[in-house]
Structure 1
Amino acid sequence: MAGTLIVGLDLDTRREAEAIVERLGEGVDHYKIGYQLFYGGDGLALGKALIAAGKKVFFDLKLLDIDNTVEKGVAAIAETGAAMLTVHAYPKTMAAARRGAAGSALSVLGVTVLTSTDDGDLADAGYARDAAGLVAQRAGQARDAGIGGIVASAREAEMVREIVGQEMFVVTPGIRPAGSDAGDQKRVVTPSAAVSAGASHLVVARPIIKAEDPHAAARSILADMAGGVRLA
């Protein structure tokens, strides 16, 4: 398979997000709603509307709290019919999230190391492991927790795929077409390279939503993804 494109609606308002969805039309079925839109732009209501319209919605909320709070929060998101939800990839948090999603179609994703974070940033934060080592540890913990997948840089996707096997989702943000601006991302990869490495879902926001022609930008990325088809 060539992987699935998720467009990140990293915008301030519901009106802006709906305009992007309209411009992308039938060419995109999966959308991510994160902090910016969820908290400031009526993102929860928009997500429910997109789900009702037949779209797949990924709420990128990176939950982390005591077990009961995580479990109940995940259960509430599951009730919306969302396809994906992120939590921090801590063993207790992932276990609680799995319980909250039980019996629903919601896939819980454990966030390993942010794509804007490098080895130096981890050292500053007090971690004794480099990014790849920490991703590997959390990937194994996510597998053992029995959740739906993990979020990691595509630079670690091949390693992660070997750890989690073929059934779990490997969702990769920090995707940038060749020659585009990396912005605040530090561990970026092209769409075709991400798919070749074993990513199942690619999250792309700015290269599409900030493009002069978002529809054309999405088509170009989908074409690049098709060129990176992973056979096994």
Structure 2
Amino acid sequence: MTKSPIIIALDFPNLDEVQSFLGKFKGESLFVKVGMELFYAEGPKVVTYLKEAGHSVFLDLKLHDIPNTVYSAMKRLASLGVDLINVHAYGGTAMMRGAMEGLIEGTPSGKSRPLCIAVTQLTSTSEEQLHLEGFTDLALADMVEKQALLVKEAGLDGVVCSPLESKRLKEVVGSDFVTVTPGIRPAGADIGDQKRIATPADAKRNQSSYIVVGRPITRAENPVLAYEQIQKEWEETIL
């Protein structure tokens, strides 16, 4: 897996647009995210293309189903050679354990198992929405903390969470717990549909393991420059 902490979200509708975008980086090895839109449009071939091009891949499908279904799906997805994959923590500990079993069994001999993480609360979820539609009086931060503890209990490697929650989760669950944080916006950028956001520097100070950045890079006039500026901000931030 590439050592870069910056995961570029390839939120494109098809492989042609992915190839056009990545062509701007002139063969550089990147860490990229393949989400539902792209995977459902192109299927496994998009992952094969990215891996053959030398990129690390986060397959972001947020699996959430009965344990046996998730086990079987993960067993198949493990054969694609992705580096990072996820489920939704709302599926419960039995489902998350099933996901890990499937990944272990499906990983080809001699290859490393993909890291497996779980989504806690989407960064588009607000405190008000959680209370109104999640039927709970728990504060959002407390809910995320409880979910992270369940993720750890199930044997997963970490979580997808808000960059605002990363530091606290590592204090509670352990410093080796992987935190992948979307909702990253450089200062002055449009926040889009995100609610709980942070700058790259804020995310590093909050001990994010990886940051996911989409539109600030993919829709920039100069994506390479935008990527390099975010990378520089990360590297120059002192903890």
In 2, distance between residues paired with 1:127 and 1:152? 20
Matched, 1:204 2:205: no
Matched, 1:224 2:233: yes
**Per-residue deviation, 1:18:** 1.2
Q: Percent identity?
A: 36
CA contact (8 A) 1:3 1:225 kept: no
Question: Which residue of structure 2 lines up, in the alignment, with residue 112 of structure 1?
Answer: 120
Structure 1 segments (4+ residues) deviating >6 Å: none
TM-score, normalised via structure 2 length: 0.91
Structure 1 residue runs without a partner (length 5+): none
- Count of equivalent residues: 228
**Per-residue deviation, 1:27:** 4.6
Question: Which residue of structure 1 lines up, in the alignment, with residue 45 of structure 2?
Answer: 45
Matched, 1:81 2:81: yes
Matched, 1:127 2:135: yes
**Per-residue deviation, 1:172:** 0.1
Question: Which residue of structure 2 lines up, in the alignment, with residue 160 of structure 1?
Answer: 169
In 1, distance between residues paired with 2:81 and 2:221? 32
In 1, distance between residues paired with 2:154 and 2:55? 28
**Per-residue deviation, 1:43:** 4.7
For residue 178 of structure 2, the aligned residue among 158, 166, 169 is 169
Within a 5 Å distance, the mapping from 1:184-195 to structure 2 comes to 184-195=193-204
Matched, 1:61 2:82: no
CA separation of 1:25/1:173 partners in 2, compared to 1, >3 Å: closer, same or farther? farther
The one-letter code sitting in structure 1 at the alignment partner of 2:93 is: P
In 2, distance between residues paired with 1:62 and 1:84? 12
CA separation of 1:185/1:193 partners in 2, compared to 1, >3 Å: closer, same or farther? same
In 1, distance between residues paired with 2:25 and 2:190? 22
The one-letter code sitting in structure 2 at the alignment partner of 1:46 is: V
The one-letter code sitting in structure 2 at the alignment partner of 1:171 is: V
In 1, distance between residues paired with 2:194 and 2:119? 16
**Per-residue deviation, 1:118:** 0.8
1:115-158 deviation line (CA, Å, top 9, x unaligned): 00011111122331221111100111111111121100001011
In 2, distance between residues paired with 1:217 and 1:29? 14
Question: Which residue of structure 2 lines up, in the alignment, with residue 10 of structure 1?
Answer: 11
Ranked by relative contact order (alpha carbons within 8 Å, sequence separation 6 or more), the top structure is 1
CA contact (8 A) 2:170 2:176 kept: no
In 2, distance between residues paired with 1:28 and 1:202? 16
**Per-residue deviation, 1:229:** 4.7
Other structure's SS at 1:120 match? helix
CA separation of 1:25/1:115 partners in 2, compared to 1, >3 Å: closer, same or farther? farther
CA separation of 1:132/1:25 partners in 2, compared to 1, >3 Å: closer, same or farther? farther
Question: Which residue of structure 1 lines up, in the alignment, with residue 151 of structure 2?
Answer: 142
The one-letter code sitting in structure 2 at the alignment partner of 1:17 is: V
The one-letter code sitting in structure 1 at the alignment partner of 2:54 is: G
**Per-residue deviation, 1:219:** 0.3
Alignment RMSD (CA, Å): 1.6
Question: Which residue of structure 1 lines up, in the alignment, with residue 110 of structure 2?
Answer: none
CA separation of 1:26/1:68 partners in 2, compared to 1, >3 Å: closer, same or farther? same
